[in-house]
Homo-oligomer: A and B are copies of this chain.
Amino acid sequence: MNIKERVNKLRNLMSKKGVTAYIIPTADPHQSEYPADRYKSRAWISGFTGSAGTVVITLDKALLWTDGRYFIQAEDELKETGYDLMKMGVSGVPTYIQWLEDNLNKGDSIGFDGEVFSESSAEKLEKKLKDKDIKFISDYDLIDKIWSDRPDVPRSEAFIHEIKYTGLTSKEKIEKVRKYMEDKKANYFLIGGLDDIAWLYNIRGKDVANNPVVISYGIISKDKAYLCVDKDKINEEVKSFLQENSVKIKDYEEVDSFVKSIEEDSTILLDKRKINRRLYNGIPSECNIINQMDITTKLKGKKNETEIKNQKNAYIKDGVALVKFFHWIDQNIGKKEITEITASEKLEEFRREEDLFIEPSFDTISAYRANAAMAHYSAREDSYAVLEPKGMYLVDSGGQYLDGTTDITRTVALGKLTEEEKKDFTLTLKGHINLITAKFLEGTTGHQLDILCRYPLWQEGLDYNHGTGHGVGYVLNVHEGPHNIASVHNNVSMEKGMIVSIEPGVYKAGNHGIRIENIVVVDEDTKTESGQFLNFEVLSFVPIDLNCINPSLLDTKEKNWLNDYHKGVYKKLSQFLDEEERDWLKEETRSI
């Protein structure tokens, strides 16, 4: 069945159900950043495989909205499908909600699968269209009725994340949550975010590639804690472990009946961005809802001492893998064929040699020269570059270990660079250093810090069209909240124990792309009459390629930071390398 046939089948169903426009978002029932294959309905109905996008089908239109990262790929994949590409962020292109408002008539009806639409998105849609007398139908998953070979819901076994890794038992975490519920006078706390649930119950799984989570719901009451999960996923060991922590197991589907049976006048804490429309609709209307960021997201964001100690160890192992990889590139470039894909496979090989490695924490970006100018480039079997001993090569990758989640980007010279490339790299490095060395007052947000990283680039008329940093999970999602560092406003302050990336870049279309990413943890600095100051302790230890730097653009303070950083890299990693690699690292980390 080709795309046009799929769309036509959907239109037939829509006609039968009286649906004028059907929306297919990129989402699973838990609003996960990376949905499991079963939930890739948007890709199935459109043929567009990028990670972000929304489809709207009407009886005569098929439309796909996606953002700037994917314009080229989407144009390519949508050829001959009958789809129109709607370029998000381009002037004059309406959002999909705006398009619906402009193109639907009074009395029309909009359909979507309430299971994969967050309650907040559904409310936003309804609010925007409230004057148009539109009917909303959220009861049908129409795609499910025509997608005959649809993958099953993932059924991997859950496993225990041991106390030596977590530092706190599940019981202790639940107590913290209950204390908060008491403050809010809440009877129930309903959790939809898969990483929050995994964190709270100290379990992990393999239901979603790169994200070690278990598809489930969590419910906490004043004296009970429930995990709603496919019982096949819970072996005896995990079962006893949950029992020890007073966690009761219910079937995944039981969450619906549980929610429906909540006593009238109960107060329920939840985050409408994480709870889907179908589940939300089940809550008795007499209940009092407190809609806010899940307290688990906040607690999870501040890592405890055990987590930080382990995370540090994971970053050492990861650094060793990276050094072996770059040494290998250095030895083989120009001698044997290395492609963007084989390089990425080799890097995974090195990571697999390290203790406690589980899987990559996201799809590696392995991008040579102009390909790196696309910030989210992904080499494909039918489209990749071969590395040559010239120009720059960017690798953004990470690993899941039982003792940590890593993420790092390095851009290295494979041969001689132009002065412009060196200048761009050095300015990126200046931004990186300006932020990573900052001492800042408690209460400062990542939104405030963002400009410190961009400042040196801005002075030269350069910028990067993405955030400066994201929170990083601990043996969980490589992107997590509640904090970040970005020019988009976020009112969450940086707090001791938060882990965040610092990753400025320069991207010149058709030429080169540069990004320098380290992961840091927020730590306490001095306390003065002005208040408590914080700073960043670096977790990532991998050389920053000196061949890419124009030292005349660095001031003494910046050179000192770089030399100190490189001393640290050598000190921490050299003991885990063979003699040849060690000599190589010595040279790579020399003082300038």
- A residues sitting closer than 8 Å to B (CB atoms) are 438-441, 443-444, 447-452, 454-455, 458-459, 461-463, 465, 487, 489, 491, 526, 528, 530-531, 533, 555
Which residues from chain B contact A454 at a C-beta distance below 8 Å? 441
Q: A447-B447, A448-B450 are in contact. List 10 more A-B contacts (CB 8 A).
A: A438-B459, A440-B458, A441-B458, A441-B463, A443-B487, A444-B487, A447-B448, A447-B489, A448-B451, A555-B555
A488 CB to closest chain B CB (Å) equals: 11
A and B contact pairs by CB, cutoff 8 A, 5 listed = A438-B455, A441-B463, A448-B487, A451-B452, A452-B455
In the complex, chain B residues whose CB is within 8 Å of the CB of A447: 447-448, 489
Contact A463 B530 (CB under 8 A): yes
Q: Cβ of A533 and Cβ of B451 under 8 Å apart?
A: no
In the complex, A465 Cα to B528 Cα: how many Å?
A: 13
Q: Which residue of B lies closest to A555 (CB)?
A: B555
A531 to chain B: which residues have CB within 8 Å?
463
Task: Report yes or no: B491 in contact with A489, Cβ–Cβ below 8 A.
Answer: yes
> Bound state CA distance, A439 and B444, in angstroms?
22
- Complex CA gap A438/B452 in Å reads 11
Whose C-beta in chain B lies nearest to the C-beta of A526? B461
| Complex Cα–Cα for A531 and B465 (A) | 11
- Determine if B444 and A451 form an interchain contact, defined as CB atoms under 8 angstroms apart: yes
Question: How far, in Å, is A564 (CB) from chain B's closest CB?
Answer: 16
Of the listed residues A449, A455, A458, the one surrounded by the most CB atoms of chain B closer than 10 A to its CB is A458
* Chain B residues in 8 Å Cβ range of A448: 447-448, 450-451, 487
Task: Give A430 Cβ to nearest chain B Cβ, in Å.
Answer: 13
Given A489-B489, A489-B491: A530 in contact with B461 (beta carbons within 8 A): yes
Shortest CB–CB separation between residue A552 and chain B, in angstroms? Answer: 13
A438 to B454, CA, bound (A): 11
Q: How far does the Cβ of A327 sit from chain B's closest Cβ, in whole Å?
A: 35
Residues of B near A487 (CB, < 8 A) are 443-444, 448
Chain B min CB distance to A558 (Å) = 12
Instruction: Name the residue in A454, A455, A528 with the highest tally of chain B Cβ atoms < 10 Å from its Cβ.
Output: A455
Q: Across the interface, do A439 and B452 meet the contact criterion of CB distance under 8 Å?
A: no
Shortest 9 CB-CB contacts between residues of A and residues of B: A463-B530, A461-B528, A448-B451, A461-B526, A439-B459, A439-B458, A440-B458, A462-B530, A441-B463
Q: How far is the CA of A438 from the CA of B461 in the complex (A)?
A: 11
> Which residues of the other chain, B, contact A451 by a CB distance below 8 angstroms?
440, 444, 448-449, 451-452
Residue of B nearest to A531 (CB): B463
Give the distance in Å from the alpha carbon of A439 to the alpha carbon of B462 in the complex. 11
A491: B residues at CB distance < 8 A: 489
Q: Give A415 Cβ to nearest chain B Cβ, in Å.
A: 26
Chain B minimum-CB-distance residue to A509: B529
